[in-house]
Amino acid sequence: MSTARFSLRLRVYHEDTDAGGIVYYANYLRFMERARTEWLRTLAAAQRQPTVSEGTMFVVREAHLQYLSPARLDDELEIDAVPTEVRRASLRIAQTVTRVGDSRPLVLGQIRLAVVDRVSARPAPLASWLHETLAPLAVEPR
């Protein structure tokens, strides 16, 4: 992968909105999760490796979101993910939600993922291939 930024496009459906046709605030976390999942799936496919080493999984340790402007029913959104910090057992990922065709962000997010053992839920190391892939891509947070 030659670029740090991954983007996923999706459409806003009725199920994503409140009665006023505005995206319900918690759904932005779902959108960001989808983008991260697809991004990591792309990396794993390129490496022919599982996303996280066997016996471990990612968990969200922190999530900080700034809601700047609402998305509405039928909007096409672009959700970006870019690593800003890669540590031995965690990643920090900056995520931005924008409306396709408009560069102004709707939501800004900083998500920290921890790697944990599936059984004990104790910290575990990030798979070496994934650390080696992501570490050079990490950029300064905005």
Q: Which residues are catalytic?
A: 18
Interatomic CA distance for residues 24 and 123, integer angstroms: 32
Q: Could you tell me if 68 and 108 are in contact, meaning their C-beta atoms sit under 8 angstroms apart? A: yes
The two tokens of residue 76 are 């096409």
Q: By 3-state DSSP, what share of the chain in percent is helix, strand and coil, each rounded to 5?
A: 25, 40, 35
Q: Residue 94's beta-bridge partner residues? A: 82, 110
Interatomic CA distance for residues 91 and 98, integer angstroms: 22
